[in-house]
Amino acid sequence: MNSIPAKNEFAFSGEIGGKIAENIWDSIKSGLILVDSEGKILLWNDWIAQHSGIPAESALNHFLGSLFPDGLAASFKNALRNVLHYKLPIILSNALHRSPLPLYPLPVAHRKQDRMQQSIIITPIVTSEKKRLCLIQVTDATLSIKRERVLKSYSERLSKAAITDALTGAYNRRFFDERFTAEFSRAQRQNIPLSLIMLDVDFFKDYNDRYGHPAGDKVLISVVKALKSQLHRPTDVVTRYGGEEFAIILPDSGSEGGRIVAEKLRVAVSGLNIPHGTSTVADHLTISIGIVSYQPDTSCNATCFLEAADAALYSAKHGGRNCVRHLVTPECGKPCQVDTPQADSPD
């Protein structure tokens, strides 16, 4: 029967050296387990004892698997066998192996709490007597995971802030430019329809002059909420194009569908019934909408398409306001012909 080496045989000699080694192992703020080729425990430091609830005197000279009623994770047992066989270190990262060992945060108590999240390094050790041993180093990964989550959340907030209008919560012009380029390219590449809505709050400068800029800011926030309430697909988003002008990209939406959405937007804003004493088209706040629809197999490019949407909005603003003006499949180099159907009549 093989004798079990004492702790001091691995690093120090003499009684004093053994005590120093023991103190060092127990003061380390991570777990240390040393097992022989059969899985019998030779070292069980204080950190492991605390987080497992098993004192060293109950662990030493016992097999590792026998100490835990729940057993060891299959990934951990396979890693241990491979280290002993191939004599190469293995890392069990927390990303793939969250809690291989039954270790718990302090106090261990009744172990009804979730297991501690761990990172584990298993290292082969060959002694002068050619004995094969394994050193298992266990680190509590809980804090680092929390830190990663906080950093990820902070990064996501920064990313969102970079593409979001601070006042209204709509996406900003930067987002629009990137999204529009991507969606127009996709429409051309896949031969699918695309609609673009451009809208403007009627007589907004006059509103600011009469009611003040703080009231104007509240109006823009209310308008965005009303617009969002009418968009039910995740791909349909409101963007603040500039000032009181907004743009909405409608992927996979043709002429008829885009026109229906545009009219719903106009009605929703009108339904807010926000008083507007200086408007010449209504006694409440209204919007003018221009919409352009791209159909496959046309010579229209992205610049032409955007200009056509602006032309449709111009027509709505100078053709009565509080209405929708629609343009179908603009051809580059040709004058825009704006459709003014009866259904687009104002309230």
Domains located in the chain, CATH noted: 7-147 (3.30.450.20), 163-344 (3.30.70.270)
pLDDT tens sequence across 257-287: 999 999 999 999 999 999 999 999 999 999 9
pLDDT band at 338 (very low <50, low <70, confident <90, very high): low
To the nearest 5 percent, what fractions of the chain are helix, strand and coil? Answer: 40, 20, 35
Residue whose C-alpha is closest to residue 268's, from 338, 197, 173, 318: 197
244 is catalytic: yes
pLDDT at residue 142 in the model: 82
pLDDT at residue 331 in the model: 57
> How much is the average pLDDT of 191-195?
91
Q: Which residue carries 């945060």 as its tokens?
A: 105
Q: 244, 256, 263, 331: which is the annotated catalytic residue? A: 244
pLDDT at residue 3 in the model: 44
- pTM of the full predicted structure? 0.59
Contact 187, 181 (CB under 8 A): no
Distance CA 147, CA 312 (A): 50
pLDDT band at 253 (very low <50, low <70, confident <90, very high): very high
pLDDT at residue 85 in the model: 86
